[in-house]
Amino acid sequence: MMIEQVKIIHLPKMIDSRGKLGIVEGKINVPFDIRRIYYLYDVLADATRGAHAHKQLQQLIVAIAGSFEVVLDDGVNKKSFTLNKNCVGLYLPKMIWRELKNFSTNAVCLVLASEHYDEDDYYRNYEDFIEAVKAQ
């Protein structure tokens, strides 16, 4: 079950008198090479982002600012996380349906991705995702 591979990753940080510096390195802090970064910001409080699954893509999701909820579903089991620390990432393997919601004001969701953007890697329809899980 893919949801068992979901994990919280505590990211290293350097703290000194000037402030804090958080670090993510591909294949060191996350189990993949980072090919792409994108970020969600100015998200409306009642908006849902995500609502898709990936065929191959792996991701690390970090609440760089503020907080939001990540609801996960591997087609069999569900899990939900509240992200609100900029030194904590949520690792998602492939084949996880995810929905991001309850964004706080000024929340920023940073996503580190294992692949370049490829619309063919998406299941954007939940029924198609469930069919694919059953076929595995």
Report which of 1, 32, 26 is spatially closest to residue 96, judged by C-alpha positions.
Answer: 1
Q: How many CA atoms lie within 13 A of 2 on its CB side?
A: 24
- Of 4 and 118, nearer to ligand TYD (C-beta) is 118
User: How near is the Cβ of 53 to ligand TYD at its closest, in Å?
Assistant: 11
- Of 36 and 85, nearer to ligand TYD (C-beta) is 36
85 binds ligand TYD (CB under 6 A): no
39 binds ligand TYD (CB under 6 A): no
Instruction: Tell me if residue 52 is catalytic.
Output: yes
Size of the chain, expressed as the number of residues it contains: 136
Pick the catalytic residue: 10, 52, 54, 116?
52
What are the catalytic residues? Answer: 52
